Structure 1
Amino acid sequence: MSKVTLEEKLGQLFVVGFNGKKVPKEMKELIEKYHVGNIILFARNIGTPDEVKALTTELQQIAARFQEKPLLICVDQENGVVRRLSKGTTILPGAMATAATNQSDYAFELGRICGEELMELGINWNLAPVLDVNNNADNPVIGVRSFGENPEKVAELGRKSMLGLQAGGMVTTLKHFPGHGDTNIDSHLGLPTIPHSLERLEKVELVPFKACIEAGADTVMSAHIHFPVLEKNEGTPATLSKSVITGLLREQLGFDGVVTTDCMEMDAISKTIGTEKGAVVALQAGIDLIMISHRQDRQVGAIEEVKRALEAGEITEEVIDAAYERVMKLKRKYLTFDAKEAISIQDTAQAHQQIAEEVYQKSITVEKSHAIPLSKEESLLVLEPKTPQLTGAEDSLNGDLALGKALNTFSNVLDIQPFPQSLDGIEVLTENHQKIIVGLVSATQDPMQIKVVEKLVSLGKEVIVIGMRSPYDIQVIPENVKTYLNTYEFSYPALIAAGSVLFGDTIATGKAPVTLTY
Structure 2
Amino acid sequence: MHDRSLSRRTLLAATAATAVAAGTVAAASPAVAHAPQPSHHARLKRLIARMSLEEKVGQLFVMRVYGHSATAPDQADIELNLKEMGVRTAAELVAKYHVGGIIYFAWAHNTRDPHQIADLSNGIQRAGLAQSTPVPLLISTDQEHGIVARVGRPATLMPGAMALGAGGSRSDARTAAQIAGAELAAMGICQNYAPVADVNVNPANPVIGVRSFGADPQAVAGLVAAQARGYQSAGIASTCKHFPGHGDTTIDSHTGIPVITHTREEWESIDAPPFRAAIAAGIDSVMTAHIQFPALDPSDDPATLSRPILTGILREELGYDGVVVTDALTMQGVRDKYGDDRVPVLALKAGVDQLLNPPDLVAARNGVLGAVKSGEISVARIEESILRILSLKEKLGLFREPFVSHRGVDRTVGIRSHLATADRTAERTTTLLVNEGRLLPLSRRREPGLLVVGADPASPSGSTGPPTAVLAKAFTELGFTATALSTGITPTTAKIDEAVAAAGGKDVVIVGTYNVTAAAAQRTLVARLVATGVPVVTLAIRNPYDIAQLGGVRAALAAYCWTDVELRAAARVIAGRVDPEGRLPVPVQRADDPTQVLYPIGYGLSYD
Report the residue type matching 1:463 in the other structure: V
Q: Is the 8 A contact 2:151 2:462 kept in 1?
A: no
Q: CA 1:179–1:324 in structure 2 vs 1: closer, same or farther (change >3 Å)?
A: same
Show the 5 A alignment for 1:235-254.
236-254=301-319
Match among 219, 232, 256 for residue 190 of structure 1: 256
Please state if 1:219 is matched with 2:292. Answer: no
Q: CA 1:399–1:504 in structure 2 vs 1: closer, same or farther (change >3 Å)?
A: closer
Percent of aligned pairs with the same residue?
37
Shift of 1:425: 5.5
User: Structure 2: how far apart are the matches of 1:395 and 1:310?
Assistant: 41
Q: CA 1:34–1:275 in structure 2 vs 1: closer, same or farther (change >3 Å)?
A: same
Task: Name the residue aligned to 1:422.
Answer: 492
Show the 5 A alignment for 1:137-152.
137-152=203-218
Task: Name the residue aligned to 1:474.
Answer: 547
TM-score when normalising by structure 2: 0.80
User: Structure 2: how far apart are the matches of 1:71 and 1:448?
Assistant: 48
Shift of 1:169: 0.3
Q: CA 1:112–1:188 in structure 2 vs 1: closer, same or farther (change >3 Å)?
A: same
Task: Name the residue aligned to 2:145.
Answer: 79
Q: Is the 8 A contact 1:129 1:173 kept in 2?
A: yes
Shift of 1:307: 1.2
Show the 5 A alignment for 1:210-359.
210-234=276-300, 236-292=301-357, 295=359, 298-339=360-401, 344-348=408-412, 349-359=415-425
Please state if 1:36 is matched with 2:99. Answer: yes
Shift of 1:450: 2.2
Q: CA 1:425–1:266 in structure 2 vs 1: closer, same or farther (change >3 Å)?
A: closer
Shift of 1:306: 1.1
For the aligned residues, what is the CA RMSD? 2.1
Q: What SS does the aligned partner of 1:404 have?
A: helix
Q: Is the 8 A contact 2:181 2:232 kept in 1?
A: yes
Q: Which stretch of structure 1 is more off in the superposition, 371-380 or 68-77?
A: 371-380
Please give the per-residue CA displacement for 1:296-351, whole angstroms capped at 9, x wherever unaligned. Answer: xx012100111122233332222212111211221122132444785634434111
Shift of 1:388: 4.3
Long gaps (5+) in structure 1 = none
Task: Name the residue aligned to 1:53.
Answer: 118
Task: Name the residue aligned to 1:487.
Answer: 559
Q: What SS does the aligned partner of 1:133 have?
A: coil
Q: What SS does the aligned partner of 1:363 have?
A: coil
Q: Is the 8 A contact 2:151 2:461 kept in 1?
A: no
Please state if 1:3 is matched with 2:50. Answer: yes
Match among 505, 508, 515 for residue 442 of structure 1: 515
Q: CA 1:59–1:384 in structure 2 vs 1: closer, same or farther (change >3 Å)?
A: same
Match among 16, 22, 30 for residue 69 of structure 2: 22
Q: Is the 8 A contact 1:436 1:462 kept in 2?
A: yes
Q: What SS does the aligned partner of 1:415 have?
A: strand
Please state if 1:65 is matched with 2:118. Answer: no
Task: Name the residue aligned to 2:186.
Answer: 120
Please state if 1:465 is matched with 2:527. Answer: no
Please give the per-residue CA displacement for 1:76-115, whole angstroms capped at 9, x wherever unaligned. Answer: 0111111011122111111111121222111111111111
Q: Is the 8 A contact 1:423 1:455 kept in 2?
A: no
Q: Which stretch of structure 1 is more off in the superposition, 349-358 or 367-376?
A: 367-376
Q: What SS does the aligned partner of 1:408 have?
A: helix
Match among 568, 584, 608 for residue 496 of structure 1: 568
Q: Is the 8 A contact 1:69 1:331 kept in 2?
A: no
User: Structure 2: how far apart are the matches of 1:260 and 1:89?
Assistant: 26
User: Structure 1: how far apart are the matches of 2:498 and 2:154?
Assistant: 41
Report the residue type matching 2:94 in the other structure: I
Report the residue type matching 1:473 in the other structure: D
Q: Is the 8 A contact 2:450 2:480 kept in 1?
A: no
Q: CA 1:355–1:445 in structure 2 vs 1: closer, same or farther (change >3 Å)?
A: farther
Match among 566, 581, 597 for residue 509 of structure 1: 581
Q: Which stretch of structure 1 is more off in the superposition, 109-118 or 323-332?
A: 323-332
Shift of 1:407: 2.4
Show the 5 A alignment for 1:354-373.
354-370=420-436, 371-373=439-441
User: Structure 2: how far apart are the matches of 1:299 and 1:458?
Assistant: 57
Report the residue type matching 1:365 in the other structure: T
User: Structure 1: how far apart are the matches of 2:497 and 2:419?
Assistant: 42
Report the residue type matching 1:184 in the other structure: T
Q: What SS does the aligned partner of 1:437 have?
A: strand
User: Structure 1: how far apart are the matches of 2:60 and 2:430?
Assistant: 42
Shift of 1:273: 1.7
User: Structure 1: how far apart are the matches of 2:184 and 2:505?
Assistant: 46
Q: Is the 8 A contact 1:64 1:337 kept in 2?
A: no
Match among 157, 160, 165 for residue 99 of structure 1: 165
Report the residue type matching 1:467 in the other structure: A
TM-score when normalising by structure 1: 0.93
Task: Name the residue aligned to 1:406.
Answer: 474
Q: What SS does the aligned partner of 1:172 have?
A: strand
Q: Is the 8 A contact 1:385 1:440 kept in 2?
A: yes
Report the residue type matching 2:205 in the other structure: N
Q: What SS does the aligned partner of 2:560 have?
A: coil
Shift of 1:269: 2.1
Q: Is the 8 A contact 1:387 1:399 kept in 2?
A: no
Q: CA 1:200–1:188 in structure 2 vs 1: closer, same or farther (change >3 Å)?
A: same
Q: What SS does the aligned partner of 1:15 have?
A: strand
User: Structure 1: how far apart are the matches of 2:517 and 2:66?
Assistant: 34
User: Structure 2: how far apart are the matches of 1:12 and 1:346?
Assistant: 32
User: Structure 2: how far apart are the matches of 1:336 and 1:55?
Assistant: 16
Task: Name the residue aligned to 1:135.
Answer: 201
Task: Name the residue aligned to 1:376.
Answer: 444
Shift of 1:426: 3.0
Q: What SS does the aligned partner of 2:581 have?
A: coil
User: Structure 2: how far apart are the matches of 1:429 and 1:511?
Assistant: 31
Q: CA 1:141–1:396 in structure 2 vs 1: closer, same or farther (change >3 Å)?
A: farther
Q: What SS does the aligned partner of 1:454 have?
A: helix
Q: CA 1:121–1:274 in structure 2 vs 1: closer, same or farther (change >3 Å)?
A: same
Q: Is the 8 A contact 1:382 1:414 kept in 2?
A: yes
Report the residue type matching 1:499 in the other structure: A
Q: What SS does the aligned partner of 1:204 have?
A: helix
Q: CA 1:428–1:35 in structure 2 vs 1: closer, same or farther (change >3 Å)?
A: closer
